[in-house]
Amino acid sequence: MTLPFFVLFYYILPLCLFGIILRYKTEKITNPRYGNQTLPMLVDTHNHSLPEPSAAIWGWDLWLSSKYNTTLNRLNDLCVFYEYCANEHQTFFEEAAKLNILTNRQVNNLGTFLLHNFKYELEDGVSIAPSTYNRRIDSIILFLKFHYNRYIERLDDYDKKEQVQKSVDRACGWIAKKRYSKAQVDNATKQTEPLNNDEIDIIKKIIRPSTDSFTNEINPFRRQLQVRNACAILLLLELGCRASELVLIRSDQDLKLTTNPTVVIQFSEDSAFRNRKDGASHKTRFRELPISRGLAALILDYLEEHRPFLRKPFKGSLTEYLFISEKDGGALTTSGLDYMITKIYQTIPNLADVIHPHRFRVTRGTELRSNIDTKYEDSNSPMTQAGETQDLLTTWGGWSTTSDMTRRYTQAHLQRKISDYLRGKED
């Protein structure tokens, strides 16, 4: 049966404005019993019906007790949960009716699914804002408690009720742990500014390793860790890579410390060999990035003198990764890198809001964009400039050629160009 044109226009066209067509959406329906006030309801667009009754009942309960926009946002979040069930966990509602509560593994899959920004294709890997993700998490927790409670209330056995309720609370607790911290939300909400030259100089002075003839009194690390940590921080500054990519750099395969030294960042699936549960991964495509000769020399010193010393107590522990943990001789984790950065701004408290891996990345992206623009300053071919700029920046960042991340990571530079233009500093 062919659907009428107006049905296709009403249901399909709005969804096509997004990256993918969502099966579930929130419709706004007037309620004649309440003076034709608008009632948002979750609808299955495959058969134009209301799905599992809990969605309608929960939505009605929210509508009676909450503000309209709150109800609408909660139901929009619930649409994502129903998409998850349809795509990843088709038996959820049958299992819930039998009081089989979500497992930790299922919660992890759910947490990953809720990150998707459905305005883009899933393969692009574009995530929603942390604040939106936290709201999704809160909405799903509220719904799950409401949904499971419908079946818990039917139990006559008090002990069984208590046992199932604990399982529900435990699962909701796992989901709650997926939420971003307030600091992470603030960092994502506020435009990240690149480090200025003075801040970079301070950081370099703090991490400068001590030698036999020089003692760096402000370096917060023990001598045996100073060269390793300096290499890690300087690589973040010069590469602008992600923290999860830095800890995956391998000492043999990914370092080319020749006359023109480079570091290779490439996809790796050897998480089992890492024996780490830190979620480190190369999110994007292969790239080879240059580093300074001075940093290359420091890395060589680390490889020849300091890395063997760190590994010596753990002869049975083998790892190919460049940065290793002092605790067990295995690969350094992203949390270990975070701790390293925390130690720096504990020395200089004013740096607390200055240094984190993401800001290093923004700084390098801004420098790269500025250098490219300088190269084309007198060029009369804006099409060539735009195309090459996009190619260079996406290759550096490891993004797809259609990604808008290049603009986001060089926003500060673009803002400066606008300001300069408005002040008459550019023609």
**Placement of tokens 């069984």 in the chain:** 160
- Rounded to an integer, what distance in angstroms lies between the CA atom of residue 20 and that of residue 219? 51
* 317 band by pLDDT with thresholds 50, 70 and 90: low
Radius of gyration for the chain, computed over Cα atoms and rounded to the nearest angstrom: 26
Per-residue model confidence (pLDDT) at position 215: 92
pLDDT of residue 344: 79
The per-residue pLDDT for 426 is 47
47-51, 74-78, 312-316: lowest mean pLDDT where?
312-316
Q: What per-residue confidence (pLDDT) applies to 18?
A: 40
| pLDDT (0 to 100) of residue 275 | 60
- 206 C-beta neighbours (distance < 10 Å), count: 21
Percent of the chain with pLDDT over 70: 69
Residues sharing a CB contact under 8 Å with residue 39, sequence separation 6 or more, in sequence order? 28, 29, 30, 31, 59, 60, 63
Tokens found for residue 362 = 């923004």
Higher pLDDT residue, 7 or 321? 321
C-alpha triplet 87, 92, 115: angle, nearest 5°: 50
pLDDT tens, residue by residue, 122-145? 655 677 888 899 999 999 999 999
Q: Which of 244, 250, 285 is nearest to 266 (CA)?
A: 285
Of the listed ranges 52-56, 76-80, 170-174, 212-216, the one predicted with least confidence: 52-56
Tell whether the model's pLDDT for residue 283 goes beyond 60.
Answer: no
- Name residue, tokens 């990764």: 321
Three-class DSSP category at 354:
coil
Q: How confident is the model at residue 375, as a pLDDT?
A: 62
Q: Can you spell out the DSSP letters for 360-422? A: HHHHHHHHHHHHHHHHTTT-S-HHHHHHHHHHHHHHHHT--TT-SHHHHHTHHHHHHHHHHHH
Q: What's the average model confidence in pLDDT over 177-192?
A: 70
Outline which parts of the chain fall under CATH 1.10.443.10: 191-357
pLDDT in tens, 197-232: 888 888 899 899 999 899 999 898 999 899 999 999
Contact in structure between 413 and 407 (CB atoms under 8 Å):
no
**329 within 8 A of 313, measured Cβ to Cβ:** yes
Q: Is the pTM of this model over 0.85?
A: no
The CB density around residue 198, as the number of other CB atoms within 10 Å, is 8
Mean pLDDT over all residues of the chain? 78
Q: What are phi and psi of 43, to 5 degrees?
A: -125, 140
Buried b (16+ CB within 10 A) or exposed e, 255-290: bebeeebbbebbebeeeeebebebebebebeebebe
H runs (alpha helix) in 98-181: 104-113, 130-152, 158-176
User: What Å distances lie between residue 329 and 49, 102, 103, 235, 304, CA to CA?
Assistant: 58, 36, 33, 21, 16
Whole-angstrom Cα distance, residue 61 to residue 55?
Answer: 10
More confident residue, 219 or 406: 219
Q: What is the third-level CATH fold of 191-357?
A: hpI Integrase; Chain A (1.10.443)
Q: Is 1's pLDDT higher than 50?
A: no
pLDDT band (50, 70, 90) for residue 12: very low
- What are the contacts of 61-67 at 24+ separation with CB within 8 A? 61/146, 63/39
Give the mean model confidence (pLDDT) for residues 168-188: 82
Q: Judge whether residue 16 has pLDDT over 80.
A: no
Of residues 300 and 403, the one with the higher pLDDT is: 300
Q: How confident is the model at residue 269 (pLDDT cuts 50, 70, 90)?
A: low
**Average pLDDT of span 299-308:** 92
Average pLDDT, stretch 243-257? 87
